[in-house]
Structure 1
Amino acid sequence: MKLKKILSFKQWSHIFRNSWKYIVSPQVATGDKLLFTIPVILYWVLPDFLPFMPIDDIGVTMLLMGWFVSRMERKYPVLKVLR
């Protein structure tokens, strides 16, 4: 994502809204859902370099969420929600 999109509230609201829709959609393959959820869950559960500081966990989750939504929009164009 470009810097302008990273800082855009509209872009992040689109990502948050659509990431949940792709995760609960029965039309998205389970493997695709696990490709996002497993790394996020492992990153939150396993100990990291900054204990008791969830800022890095949230940042990584948001970056993975942006990647997941852009990948699902390309792979499942039928499910793409209008911005």
Structure 2
Amino acid sequence: MKLRKLLSLKRWSHIFRGSWQYVISRDVAVADKLLFTVPVLLYWVLPDFMPFLPIDDIGVTMLLMGWFVSRMDRKYPALKAGK
């Protein structure tokens, strides 16, 4: 069941749309935005174990996006993505 949810296009559509919506929203605190953007940018910029292969960077970014959107959905229910 969890694998099915993980591979759901509807869920990932919500995550991609929601992450962008929360990052550009004026109603979301800057600290909340930085909690997502700083780790992602640092992970992309700092050298890693597989240089020149962005697959691990994309995977970590997608995991952080899922966490960020679920956290923002709970914290800012009025801004929930898809409305």
TM-score (norm 1): 0.94
User: What does residue range 4-83 of structure 1 map to in structure 2 within 5 Å?
Assistant: 4-82=4-82
User: Number of residue pairs matched?
Assistant: 82
Gaps of 5+ in 1: none
After TM superposition, give the deviation of residue 4 of structure 1 in Å: 1.8
Gaps of 5+ in 2: none
- Ranked by relative contact order (alpha carbons within 8 Å, sequence separation 6 or more), the top structure is 2
Asked if the contact 2:23/2:33 (under 8 Å) is kept, the reply is: yes
After TM superposition, give the deviation of residue 82 of structure 1 in Å: 3.6
Report the Cα distance in structure 2 between the residues aligned to 1:81 and 1:56, rounded to whole angstroms.
Answer: 26
After TM superposition, give the deviation of residue 60 of structure 1 in Å: 0.2
Amino acid in the other structure paired with 1:73? D
Report the Cα distance in structure 2 between the residues aligned to 1:38 and 1:74, rounded to whole angstroms.
Answer: 21
Q: Which stretches of structure 1, 4 residues or longer, exceed 4 Å deviation after superposition?
A: none
TM-score (norm 2): 0.94
Report the Cα distance in structure 2 between the residues aligned to 1:81 and 1:43, rounded to whole angstroms.
Answer: 25
Give CA-to-partner distance per residue, 1:22-72, whole Å, 9 cap, x none. 000000000000000000000000000000000000000000000000000
